[in-house]
Structure 1
């Protein structure tokens, strides 16, 4: 699962292209993301048709209590600029004050995005205007939100066996005992161009496919949704997973006038220069290596490549201290590191990872996530997973220098695509004549990684949205942040995410507004039934604790 960049490296995983199922999480460092396929000739688009909303009803039992709900599946149209967006109603029609008497020719239409969403409203609540509402999305970039919808918080969920690769369809769906409807109304949003969301008009991809372009589209969507459903009085939260956490940092800053109650981040990546994916392409920046080590150690322990008295709880604090001190200091010495010291560090690394010291010496003490995944289970000719390193699968090329596939996404991805189509058609009564796109990535896809930092400066070679979150927290000092993730995730490492939070450029007193919770799973923590309940409980408690007065 590889994605060719317009620069010096490719990054595997959540930004992969080989299968559209891997689109939902991988970070990358370059300023652009582009498909390698030739762009198809663009047809002249007819005026955009807006599908009618579909309203259905159901119920789900959470915590022993039956919760009736009303589901709305539909779209909201947003413009590519604030001025243009102000002339559009949620259904794409012009407002009465738009000042335009006739529609332009199709080829001259300004770009718009029809963003698909599914909202669930608890229907036995009297004071609906002040009930909490949470906006939920996956990442990619260019992913729909079928993973969090059918994997974590919707009233129905896919039943997957943890660490299992299903034999194919049919995949079982069931009522979700961990639906978040007990704590909040829910809005699952598909990114422009993904799922049932569509982009239209002149240069539409350019208008919506980028860090800031995407953030502005989501900000406009949320404001339009609050107006359409009369929910401006509700406590408001955003929940992003993977690249969705990148979006959340940008979005929290852009939604300053909305004043969010809370930001929930699952499997976080804010500073792409510390990603375990391809750090060799950014020499001189060594944080990625020592911040990945705790996840390496957790993985090695899980696969019985090392032993640790006291298990993971005892191992991780020890590895973290070694990573931040002896290991980091050795890497920072560069060519001045003595041979004896290099050997001593390599021996220690071997004890924590199960990778021989000789390999660590040969690698100059630096292994990327892909290299580690390819080396750990080489005796069985297997790769360890990337997004969830507990998974393993056959190595396509036994001589490859790093993992050539992600067994986790191969095991779980197809179930989400199949069941999202079935659920949308049969339960939501939406989209039977539409194509549900498991990714926005298609010929000509290009993601602009350039970003306008709220504090200025920055380096174009690597995206870093830590300042966006910091500014949002400074501006709204009562807004709280919940960071969660899995120990077995090499796409967005838990220690790297912690490091980001501890280095946010903001007053130290605001650090008390950040809560942390880690799971003994991988990137999509909810594939494990026990972790899914833990995820629900942690998120629900956070929402209840930060509703304001």
Structure 2
């Protein structure tokens, strides 16, 4: 018996020793990686010398242990006093998207150019990659952030993906990064801005809230929300979600107008206003009355929906006067055998299955532009910025989607499932920081985060209306893919930031 106990004790010791070795092995002893290059360019007519810094920042837990390496690409002006030099932190959405889209599509010192008219696929390499004289480097430094799991960013040390792949964990990690960056670069007295796109706007609202706590308050001067998604009730086209039928209708009308299926003889703005009025009036009443309507009332609503969407009245009635977006994208050009884009309803492509309920090839506004973005970024990263890494740069995180935790409350707190919303977080942050302003950029043909939802969201949640600027563009989710709107968006953001920097 003693011999058996001795063997057991020995094996237990070996196991504990091995566990200790394993725990010790995850300690991060190396320095964060960094690649730096001196560059220059002309922006808004002004020659600017700057450095491009592609670097890793270690995030740590309350014990000081490394949990992740978050990567960013920063463009920092040189030869100037940087203590009060404005800085803008930029990220995309997803969740699970790297910052490559805003970086290569709009804010970067060089940008990719796809077909502005949304009629030609990006095809195969080589792609058009040009200097961006409208970049904001004359007035602000730019820091593009890749959340954990995207780009080169990944968990390190004692970190786990679940620490970061959640609404709260994501916001905390990027807020921590921003505080570290500001401290390392001596920018606590500098104006600070955030620019986010899509889920990046959901994130931006949450970050603004997180930055005002945690024992190290950092106030943001302004936030640019590109294709906002603060309250998902208005951007989730699902059955039984009455809000979405209401918020999506004006975008359907705008898109039908663009494809000459509705609104003949009217301007886009006038037709969209008609759709707004109908949505807020008879349509909203009808949606809530449901089966309490008479057949005549249902028929009258279907007539108006056919007028605004260009769809067949019989199809609309079969849909119970509630048109789901995936059906609209297939139905609008069904007779032509084509489906339109989600991110941008201007795009369309021939479908392989003409009878399907929704698009079968995916989103043409994504696959007709995505290869160009990926190629130019990887080329720029390796050849011009001289970044050498042994692992790939992930434009989209692998495995994040099904493992993302949307709960807005702390772990262990009671919560019943509801639509994601960070609108109240941003409203309260604006009430605590009465100098913060918000610019909202909306695309008329955005069929995933509709412009009418932005209006509906910011009309509620006690937002200070005088500090909200709404802007509209005749393109989609990534309105900067349309050159005319690239120019307009550049002008609008420059004015927004300049007015807050003074």
Give CA deviations for 1:259-285 in whole Å, capped at 9, x if unaligned: 1101110001111122243x21xx2x3
Q: Show the counterpart of 2:178.
A: 222
Q: Distance in 2 between matches of 1:337 and 1:445?
A: 40
**How far apart are residue 317 of structure 1 and its match?**
0.9
Q: Distance in 2 between matches of 1:311 and 1:170?
A: 38
Report matched runs for 1:123-272 at 5 Å.
Answer: 123-124=78-79, 126-162=80-116, 163=118, 164-202=120-158, 204-256=160-212, 257-272=217-232
Q: Show the counterpart of 1:109.
A: none
1:45 and 1:429, CA in 2 relative to 1: closer, same or farther beyond 3 A?
farther
Residue number among 49, 65, 69 corresponding to 2:46 in the alignment: 65
Give CA deviations for 1:439-473 in whole Å, capped at 9, x if unaligned: 112389500010129xx997523211111111101
Give CA deviations for 1:104-163 in whole Å, capped at 9, x if unaligned: xxxxxxxx1211101111224x32110110000001101110001111011011122221
Give CA deviations for 1:331-372 in whole Å, capped at 9, x if unaligned: 110110111011001011101111011111110111111110
**How far apart are residue 192 of structure 1 and its match?**
0.5
Q: Report if aligned partners of 2:149, 2:400 keep a CA contact under 8 Å in 1.
A: no
Q: Distance in 2 between matches of 1:294 and 1:172?
A: 34
Q: Show the counterpart of 1:351.
A: 307
**How far apart are residue 201 of structure 1 and its match?**
4.2
Give CA deviations for 1:184-217 in whole Å, capped at 9, x if unaligned: 1100000111011111345611111000000000
Q: Show the counterpart of 2:58.
A: 77
Q: Distance in 2 between matches of 1:123 and 1:334?
A: 62
Q: Show the counterpart of 2:4.
A: none
Q: Distance in 2 between matches of 1:225 and 1:129?
A: 13
Q: Does 1:439 align with 2:399?
A: no
> 5+ residue gaps in structure 1?
1-43, 93-111
Q: Show the counterpart of 1:474.
A: 431
Q: Does 1:54 align with 2:9?
A: no
Q: Report if aligned partners of 2:32, 2:58 keep a CA contact under 8 Å in 1.
A: no
Q: Report if aligned partners of 1:205, 1:445 keep a CA contact under 8 Å in 2.
A: no
SS of the equivalent of 1:265 reads strand
Q: Report if aligned partners of 2:165, 2:404 keep a CA contact under 8 Å in 1.
A: yes
Structure 1 length as normaliser, TM-score? 0.82
Residue number among 468, 471, 476 corresponding to 1:522 in the alignment: 476
Q: Does 1:389 align with 2:345?
A: yes
Q: Distance in 1 between matches of 2:351 and 2:234?
A: 26
**How far apart are residue 417 of structure 1 and its match?**
1.3
Q: Report if aligned partners of 2:87, 2:141 keep a CA contact under 8 Å in 1.
A: yes
User: Structure 1 residues 193-202 or 493-502, which shifts more?
Assistant: 193-202
Q: Distance in 2 between matches of 1:306 and 1:357?
A: 13
SS of the equivalent of 2:445 reads coil
1:47 and 1:395, CA in 2 relative to 1: closer, same or farther beyond 3 A?
farther
SS of the equivalent of 2:83 reads helix
Q: Report if aligned partners of 2:479, 2:486 keep a CA contact under 8 Å in 1.
A: yes
**How far apart are residue 420 of structure 1 and its match?**
1.4
Q: Distance in 1 between matches of 2:416 and 2:460?
A: 17
Q: Report if aligned partners of 2:164, 2:173 keep a CA contact under 8 Å in 1.
A: yes
Q: Distance in 1 between matches of 2:207 and 2:436?
A: 14
Report matched runs for 1:337-348 at 5 Å.
Answer: 337-348=293-304
Q: Report if aligned partners of 1:276, 1:292 keep a CA contact under 8 Å in 2.
A: no
Q: Distance in 2 between matches of 1:248 and 1:315?
A: 32
Q: Distance in 2 between matches of 1:480 and 1:307?
A: 35
Q: Does 1:115 align with 2:70?
A: yes
Structure 2 length as normaliser, TM-score? 0.90
Q: Distance in 1 between matches of 2:358 and 2:384?
A: 42
Q: Distance in 2 between matches of 1:471 and 1:457?
A: 22
User: Structure 1 residues 331-340 or 530-539, which shifts more?
Assistant: 530-539
Q: Show the counterpart of 2:501.
A: 547
Q: Report if aligned partners of 1:270, 1:466 keep a CA contact under 8 Å in 2.
A: yes
Give CA deviations for 1:474-520 in whole Å, capped at 9, x if unaligned: 111111111112010111001101111111235xxx21111110100
Q: Report if aligned partners of 1:466, 1:505 keep a CA contact under 8 Å in 2.
A: no
Q: Report if aligned partners of 2:68, 2:159 keep a CA contact under 8 Å in 1.
A: no
1:381 and 1:406, CA in 2 relative to 1: closer, same or farther beyond 3 A?
same
Q: Does 1:505 align with 2:437?
A: no
**How far apart are residue 232 of structure 1 and its match?**
1.0
Residue number among 328, 331, 336 corresponding to 2:287 in the alignment: 331
Q: Distance in 2 between matches of 1:443 and 1:291?
A: 28
Q: Report if aligned partners of 1:54, 1:72 keep a CA contact under 8 Å in 2.
A: yes
Q: Does 1:408 align with 2:365?
A: yes
Aligned-residue CA RMSD (Å): 2.1
